[in-house]
Structure 1
Amino acid sequence: MKISIERGTLLKAVSQAQSVVERRNTIPILANVLIETQGDGVSFRATDLDIEVIDRAPAQVERAGATTVSATMLHEIVRKLPDGALVGLSEDAASGRLVVTAGRSNFSLATLPREDFPVMATSEYATSFRANAQVLRRLFDKAKFAISTEETRYYLNGVYMHVATADDGPVLRCVATDGHRLARIDAPLPDGAQGMAGIIVPRKTVGELRKLLDDDDIEITVSVSETKVRFATPSITMTSKVIDGTFPDYTRVIPQQNTRRLEVDASDFAKAVDRVATVSSERSRAVKLSMEDDRLVLSVNAPDSGAAEEELAVAYADEKLEIGFNAKYLLEIASQVDRENAVFLFNSSGDPTLMREGDDASAVYVVMPMRV
């Protein structure tokens, strides 16, 4: 194998591949990236046996071939090369090593046989549809903060993507919850997605997927089977196993009878929560919200370190209410609001609270209160 490739193009391809690779591996080949020439280009394939990423890039191919090399090592070398450099990758037949050259720099890297590299089995995808990157990014970005990190509840360790029925018809919906907070985000249902089975996309896959969705203009092809999901752009294909489990009936925890309505500037609210939470040594310290006559008072009382209080002008016309929340949860939910105002709907100090972005019902958040 012998190819030449522009440094920026190579860095982008190798970055996506190496981020999938686990830092600690008991199987040496899983630390490597598989480099294969393909016509007038080259592909970089990496896997951790649960996710597989293939990144294709244009290159000058002088001699076809394939090899595997440490993904992290190659990424670090390319990252440190000067901008605009032309990078040469060639396999030394005598030593079996991969020679990386750029200008006066020369590296010789150990390789492992490409035959040892595990390739994820292909799957028959029952459903396939196309969606704009911007739409998918909103669905996953707004839901992912609520993914559970509790390994025993493995079925909550991802985002549940499925077809649901909203007030105005069928939608593509993403839901995540950890039992303390919940995010439910809707988007118009893409053509071809009607029969899609609900799947739980794992936390790591959601993080890796984000890197595919930076370009607003590209269309992503989403293919779904019972055991796998594939996201493909013209240059990158990411295939992931889905979580084998049943997502709980989240509709039961979304309150329908909350009538006490608080409307507040989302940015001002988030900054005020952040300020009053400063006096607490624990990020999980409860912030108390006291509402009455278009006034909201945020307060924290930490016996060991002090107390803080801040007042905000809000729209609130219901009877007086005091309720406490985990400061971290409030900040995470408030940071999801793209519109100017956040609307909170309360029932009582002991019941789940609903939050929306203004009048937009396509993004709904639920947070459980704390005792204060």
Structure 2
Amino acid sequence: MKFTVDRAVLLKALAHVQSVVERRNTIPILANVLLDAKTEGSLTLTATDMEIAVVEEVAGVTVPRGGRTTAPAATLYEIVRKLPDGARVELDHGGGDGPLTLRAGKFNTSLAVLPVDDFPSMTEGKLPTKFSIKAGVLRDLIDRTRFAISTEETRYYLNGIYLHAAEAEGAPVLRAVATDGHRLARVEEPLPDGAKGMPGVIIPRKTVQEVRKLADETQDEIEIRLSDTKIRFGLGTVALTSKLIDGTFPEYERVIPRGNDKKLTVPKKDFEEAVARVAAISSERSRPVKLSISRNNLLLSAASPEQGQAQEELDADTVSYESSPLEIGFQARYLTDITAQIGEKMEFLFADGAAPTIVKDEAKPEALYVLMPMRV
């Protein structure tokens, strides 16, 4: 195998595939990228960790001798990254166990390879559901839910985003949900053509992260194909295939309160900054911030046995609340995570000081967040 390609083109492709490679693993071949060059001038790069596989087609490649080999993904990426802009990179492998030679200008190096036959194939199988979604829509679904993905490995079925077809006010929607048991994020968009009847699937956290990075690089439509065990995202020349979490997502609708009738509306920016200031009194990430709410008035406070206490009152002309007085506490970080998803105005819906609270973006009712209170 021998081919030549522009450094920028190769670097972009390597950045996509090497990010799924696990740096620490017990199977050496999983640290490698598969290089497949064909004499008609195409190059395919593949990397996998046995849960996710990324395949990228690279154009603009000169291939005097076709062939396949594997090379250490992280090392190859670092070498190409440090080559000068505009460099032309030549990769040459004579076959067998011999090294892969990389040349660029006056620089050359040799990389050890592993047998192509050892490289695992993550076959997709049948993916009967197929639909397309705009990159911006997919980014929005991910960004407004992924903060609530659980990191608790024992409840593995919460370690991802639950994507499924649903109905909202009589209209079909594509809904993304994530929860860690302390907060819940539910965001929906109009159901794309072809998604009706799709199985509800749990997309793993790592897959969510990789797809989000890829979606940043395009404004085009992203093709999604899925079954009840695998999902494939097609983004231009890149295809990412992932196994799905084999588990049952909880019946999340049951934890969304229906009778919260005490409504507080506050400016997002003022609230966010006030939370940050009062929470700074304590270095404990789980320290609660207390909201003391009365008619058109909101006082935020926090206390630390070691550091003291802090409080801040929001301007009365920016706060809207017409119900009976209420005191309730929330973990500061959870408040901040949800606030980051809101536009200009935040809407809180309370039942009492001990019940789950609903948080909404006043301008985007398609997004809903549930936050469990803390004892203060």
Q: Are the equivalent residues in 2 in contact too, given 1:291–1:321 (CA < 8 A)? A: yes
Q: Are the equivalent residues in 1 in contact too, given 2:37–2:63 (CA < 8 A)? A: yes
Equivalence for 1:6: 6
Instruction: Note the C-alpha offset of 1:168.
Output: 4.4
In 1, the alpha carbon distance for the partners of 2:85 and 2:269 equals 38
Equivalence for 2:158: 156
**Counterparts of residues 336-351 of structure 1 (less than 5 Å):** 336-337=341-342, 339-351=343-355
Q: Are the equivalent residues in 2 in contact too, given 1:294–1:317 (CA < 8 A)? A: yes
In 2, the alpha carbon distance for the partners of 1:118 and 1:306 equals 57
Q: Which moved more, 1:46-55 or 1:353-362?
A: 353-362
Does residue 363 (structure 1) correspond to residue 367 (structure 2)? The answer is yes
**Counterparts of residues 1-372 of structure 1 (less than 5 Å):** 1-38=1-38, 39-58=40-59, 59-93=61-95, 96-313=98-315, 314-337=319-342, 339-372=343-376
- Whichever residue aligns with residue 359 of structure 2, its letter is M
Q: 1:120 to 1:94 in 2, by over 3 A?
A: closer
Instruction: Note the C-alpha offset of 1:243.
Output: 0.5
Instruction: Note the C-alpha offset of 1:41.
Output: 2.2
In 2, the alpha carbon distance for the partners of 1:80 and 1:9 equals 14
1:313-365 CA deviation, whole Å, 9 max, x = no partner? Answer: 3122222111000001000000011x211111111000001011114221100
Q: Which moved more, 1:198-207 or 1:53-62?
A: 53-62
Query: What secondary structure, in the 3-state scheme, does the structure 2 residue paired with 1:279 have?
Result: coil
In 2, the alpha carbon distance for the partners of 1:62 and 1:272 equals 64
Q: Are the equivalent residues in 1 in contact too, given 2:97–2:115 (CA < 8 A)? A: no
- Whichever residue aligns with residue 330 of structure 1, its letter is L
Q: Any stretches of 5+ residues in structure 1 without a counterpart?
A: none
- Whichever residue aligns with residue 315 of structure 1, its letter is S
Q: 1:116 to 1:305 in 2, by over 3 A?
A: same
Query: What secondary structure, in the 3-state scheme, does the structure 2 residue paired with 1:323 have?
Result: strand
In 1, the alpha carbon distance for the partners of 2:129 and 2:356 equals 35
1:22-78 CA deviation, whole Å, 9 max, x = no partner? Answer: 111111100000011143221110001010000111122221111100011011111
Instruction: Note the C-alpha offset of 1:311.
Output: 1.4
Q: Are the equivalent residues in 2 in contact too, given 1:175–1:185 (CA < 8 A)? A: yes
Query: What secondary structure, in the 3-state scheme, does the structure 2 residue paired with 1:159 have?
Result: strand
In 1, the alpha carbon distance for the partners of 2:321 and 2:43 equals 60
Query: What secondary structure, in the 3-state scheme, does the structure 2 residue paired with 1:226 have?
Result: coil
- Whichever residue aligns with residue 65 of structure 1, its letter is G
Instruction: Note the C-alpha offset of 1:151.
Output: 0.8
Query: What secondary structure, in the 3-state scheme, does the structure 1 residue paired with 2:265 have?
Result: strand
1:77-96 CA deviation, whole Å, 9 max, x = no partner? Answer: 11111122111111145862
Q: Are the equivalent residues in 2 in contact too, given 1:281–1:305 (CA < 8 A)? A: no
Q: 1:229 to 1:104 in 2, by over 3 A?
A: same
- Give the superposed CA RMSD: 1.3
- Whichever residue aligns with residue 370 of structure 1, its letter is M
Instruction: Note the C-alpha offset of 1:122.
Output: 2.5
* Runs of 4+ in structure 1 over 3 Å off: 92-95
- What percent identity do the matched residue pairs reach? 53
Q: Are the equivalent residues in 2 in contact too, given 1:92–1:99 (CA < 8 A)? A: no
Q: Any stretches of 5+ residues in structure 2 without a counterpart?
A: none
In 2, the alpha carbon distance for the partners of 1:61 and 1:284 equals 57
- Whichever residue aligns with residue 5 of structure 2, its letter is I
- Whichever residue aligns with residue 277 of structure 2, its letter is R
Q: TM-score, normalised by structure 2?
A: 0.96
Q: 1:147 to 1:94 in 2, by over 3 A?
A: closer
How many aligned positions are there? 371
In 2, the alpha carbon distance for the partners of 1:8 and 1:315 equals 54
Q: Which moved more, 1:155-164 or 1:209-218?
A: 209-218
Q: Are the equivalent residues in 1 in contact too, given 2:215–2:235 (CA < 8 A)? A: no
